[in-house]
Amino acid sequence: MALPIMAKATAVWLVDNTTLSFKQIADFCGLHELEVNGIADGEVAQGIKGFDPIANNQLTQAEIDMAEQNPRHKMKLKHNPAAEGEEKRRGPRYTPLSKRQDRPAAILWLVKFHPELSDGQISKLVGTTKPTIQALRDRTHWNIANIAPIDPVALGLCKQLELDKAVAKAAAKAAKDGTAISDEERLKLVSTEQSLQMDDEPRLPSNMSGLETFSLSGSDDEDEKKDDAVVDADSLFNLPKGGGEDDDEDDA
């Protein structure tokens, strides 16, 4: 249900200027009935000036009169033809200047955890351009080393409902085309950043398989031999006899 602008100020005006029930005002303004009761008692919305919904073309006097006569009547916003289709948006979403620096992190998160999303869908979700998305996919972005993936919903760049809708649409299209990603494959997905930080795994030729057990078993024997061979420290510093005399003869 559509709600009026400045809902709490509208509720203040309705409490002060009408005989509507708290429930009717709460349903119209999207508030809780106890909150409207607190407005009437002066405990809530202190200092808020009432906002006239009739003067601002949000409600008609006839609608208020009908609701006052029938406590079960739910008031509706006045129809505004100019507002039709305003939710339909074309092109990238507008992103405030304060949040534009967070877009690369959001794009990287979408590319990592939702690879089924197309560039156009990502562009509409976070308000970016396709070259930027492609640069982050290829990891050729100029600041890729300093970008960490962050959920765009947590950053406030899009709503969870919009993200879920885009993911469901992309998944349905992938299933139709036969390119859907299974849950097991999704769990195996590793980002390029993580893969670059992983140690290289030593690879053995196929004909050398089974030597791992031999090397492990042999290591214990070698350790035992090293422990048995005790070296006397004094023997390392004792020079052979007569070595100094030979040196003196050579000097002579």
Asked if residue 88 belongs to a domain, the reply is no
- The Cα–Cα gap between 69 and 145 comes to 66
The pLDDT assigned to 242 comes to: 54
Amino acid at site 172: A
Do 159 and 185 fall into the same domain?
yes
Instruction: Tell me if 43 is assigned to some domain.
Output: yes
Q: Does residue 218 belong to any structural domain of this protein?
A: no
What is the full per-residue pLDDT of the chain (252 aa) written as tens digits?
A: 578 888 889 999 999 999 999 999 999 998 898 999 999 888 888 888 889 999 888 888 999 999 999 988 988 888 766 555 445 555 556 666 767 888 999 999 999 999 989 999 998 898 888 999 999 999 999 999 999 999 998 888 888 888 999 999 988 888 887 765 555 445 444 444 444 454 544 444 444 444 444 444 444 555 555 555 555 556 556 655 555 555 444 444
pLDDT of residue 110: 93
Domain boundary among 191, 211, 243: 191
Does residue 169 fall inside a structural domain? yes
Same domain, 139 and 70: no
pLDDT at site 92: 58
Does the predicted model carry a pTM greater than 0.85?
Answer: no
Same domain, 46 and 111: no
| Number of structural domains in the chain | 2
The DSSP annotation for the chain comes to: ----SSHHHHHHHHHHH----HHHHHHHHT--HHHHHHHHHTSSSTTPPP--TTTTTS--HHHHHHHHH-TTPPP-PPP-GGGTTTT---SSPP--GGGGGGHHHHHHHHHHH-TTS-HHHHHHHHT--HHHHHHHHTT--TTGGG-----HHHHTSS-HHHHHHHHHHHHHHHHHHT-PPPHHHHHH---HHHHHHSPPPP---GGGTTHHHHHHHHHHHHHHHHHH-PPPHHHHHPPPTTHHHHHHHHH-
Distance CA 155, CA 141 (A): 20
Of 23, 47, 82, the residue at which a domain comes to its end is 82
Same domain, 59 and 111: no
Domain for residue 27, yes or no? yes
User: Is there a single domain that holds both residue 103 and residue 37?
Assistant: no
Question: Residue 59: which domain range?
Answer: 7-82
In a domain, 239, yes or no: no
Whether residue 128 sits in one domain with residue 77:
no
Please indicate, yes or no, whether residues 41 and 104 belong to a single structural domain of this protein. no
The pLDDT assigned to 188 comes to 45
Whether residue 205 lies inside any domain: the answer is no
| CA–CA dist 126, 106 (Å, integer) | 7
Residue 241 counted as domain residue: no
Residues 60 and 116 in one domain: no
